[in-house]
Amino acid sequence: MIARKKLLRPSQSSNRLNAPVAVLAVLAILSLGGHAQAKSGQDQFVRQTARAKAILAQMTLDEKVGQLIQVERAALKDPSDVEKYYLGSVFNGAGSGVAGDIKTLPPWSDVTQAIQTRALSTRLHIPLLYGTDSIHGNNNVPGATIFPHNIGLGATHDPAIVRKLERVSAEETLAVGFNWAFAPCVTVPQDYHWGRTYEGYAQDPALVAKLGGAAVEGLQGKNLANGEAVMACVKHFAADGGTEGGHDQGDAKIDEATMRRVHLPGYVSAIQAGAGTIMPSFSSWNGLKVSANKHLMTDILKKDLGFEGFLISDWNAIDQLGGDYKSQAELSLNAGMDMFMITDKYRLFFDNVKALVTEGKVPQSRIDDAVLRILRVKLAMGLMDKGYSVAPNPKLQAKFGSAEHRQIARQAVRESLVLLKNEKKTLPIAKTIARIHICGRGGDDIGMQCGGWTLSWQGQMGPVPGGTSILDAVKKAVSPGTKVTYSKDGTGAEGATLGIVVVGEIPYSEGPGDRTDLALPQEDKDAIANLKKANIPVVVVLLSGRPMILGDALTQSDAFVAAWLPGTEGAGITDVLFGDYKPTGKLTFPWQRTMEQLPLHYDDKKADPLFAYGYGLTYGK
């Protein structure tokens, strides 16, 4: 078996993060996710490189430039542009449906098949990589199993459940014809003002590395070419969680030692696990956009860390660089970007890059290196093997949103819950209790459970097909004699035996989620206060993408559960509330008392958090 280098913990790291040599990284990427024998992996890599070079030798400049382009499906000006511009990839952006309000699989898979068929009709029959934002399941497609966001998965401290979930994600992603998932995110969030905090597993780089590597293994499986794996895309390289003030797409003002110690271990682990693609961040490092940073993308990632896959830009990322569009393409290409995620400017990009090569501003060798990397990944995935079919696997379609998949997501939910408070043994709740009153904005709202990146970029309140709300989960968990009542505002609880109030953040993602104040909304505070007036035990369940300012919500509760953003399977919450499973989740971020404490760091021995890193109660002793 290929040895996996043990990552250094931050306290052990020196000025340069220990990195695997290039050969080990290559084998990990292209030899069945690092599970094959070293000799077999070496032989396979040599064969795939030889095949890629043979294809490259036949390609015209037009065909090469086309491989560098990934177009958002809805931005295609004409379907025939797939062939005309020899596109290397197409992707569905968040919320980019393919057939209006159609909610069944065939319209999605019909479109992906049609686009892939066009690519295969080109002179060299080079297939597409078809990408999608499978952030927490195949979350663009109605009816998919949606599992907890990464902050919840981090609280499990369990690489096995992360691996299982990403296997589900891979199967449900492939079911509609997508073969490339823009996941996992191995960010290390430093400041909870940031609207993407929930995309990080933890503040400890070692735990991020462990879970990120497991996620790659789950998505890609043991054999990338067996038709049941999707290519992972690790993001967002690097230090996107280290920006000053927690500003999305901001500037990480840190030295290189800190970059390597805090923000790179997740990438080392992902490369060792076999990740073939990495997405550079929108953000900057000491004033320079990552998409233009040759030292970071080429010197550190490709040379020092030995990454032999390819880099894909974020959404229209080069538009944020200086100068006109042609100079932006020149700058990013020469810095090491290999493929470019583009919407409406893809034709202009094609023409500009051809001109840049003709003018000698982008070396032909740089184009050839990028295309070779892309072709090698496609070969590793088996997309160019005899017998490859563009039709989605019917076995995987049958499992889409299945009870089997939802049970795995439910397991993740119950493992992710962190019990912060439990006075007078309020939890677990007896299933034979006389009456439970459910309230709060999240009590009967699956959209709030799921958070952002669910059916649309920002997510939304309200129903999510196939999901179970906390209210419905409570009704299913209790005995037939138990009465369950509900009010959104917490009123009407008089006479109940116990109340459960579900509060927290409404869905958001990226920059729109940046916050200067993380206090609970007044509506949530009022619901807790109204429930408290009934003079009954109060259980607060918090749905959030980061630690919030709890204030009176904590003191007014008898039990308090941090449920993060658990996804569609609300029954995972009631599994713990009613004692079918003891809570096992532990905090992977320290919990601040006030906003003035932010940024709060897990290894700051002088800090006085409300709850420390690693905190989490259970039942009994």
Query: What is the reported pLDDT for 98?
Result: 54
Query: Element (H or E) spanning 504, and its range?
Result: strand 498-504
Active-site positions read 314, 510
Q: Would you state the structure tokens that stand for residue 530, as one six-digit string?
A: 């109204």
Nearest residue to 279 via CA among 201, 336, 347 = 336
Query: What is the reported pLDDT for 8?
Result: 25
Residues of the chain with pLDDT under 50: 1-37, 99-102
Q: How far is CA 517 from CA 120, 163, 520, 588, in A?
A: 51, 34, 9, 21
Query: What is the reported pLDDT for 391?
Result: 86
Q: Does domain 417-597 have CATH number 3.40.50.1700?
A: yes
Query: What is the reported pLDDT for 37?
Result: 45
* Phi, psi angles (nearest 5°) of residue 181: -110, 130
* Contacts with 46 (C-beta within 8 Å, 6 or more apart), sequence order: none
| HSE of 215, CA atoms in CB hemisphere, 13 A | 33
Helices (H), 478-570: 522-532, 552-555
* Phi, psi angles (nearest 5°) of residue 311: -100, 135
Let me know: does 490 contact 443? Beta carbons within 8 Å.
Answer: no
Query: What is the reported pLDDT for 206?
Result: 98
DSSP-assigned beta bridge partners for residue 91:
72, 131
Query: What is the reported pLDDT for 108?
Result: 79
Query: What is the reported pLDDT for 615?
Result: 98
How many residues does the structure list for the chain? 621
Token look-up 């700051």 returns 604
Query: What is the reported pLDDT for 42?
Result: 67
**Cis-peptide, bond into residue 280, ω within 30° of zero:** no
Query: What is the reported pLDDT for 412?
Result: 98
* Phi, psi angles (nearest 5°) of residue 388: -60, 135
Angle at 381 between CA 378 and CA 385, to 5 degrees: 85
User: What CATH superfamily classification does 17-399 receive?
Assistant: Glycoside hydrolase, family 3, N-terminal domain (3.20.20.300)
Let me know: does 417 contact 571? Beta carbons within 8 Å.
Answer: no
* CB atoms closer than 10 angstroms to residue 489: 15
Sequence ranges of the domains in the chain: 17-399, 417-597
Query: What is the reported pLDDT for 46?
Result: 81
Query: What is the reported pLDDT for 400?
Result: 95
Report pTM.
0.93
Q: Would you state the structure tokens that stand for residue 461, as one six-digit string?
A: 């309140």
Query: What is the reported pLDDT for 111?
Result: 86
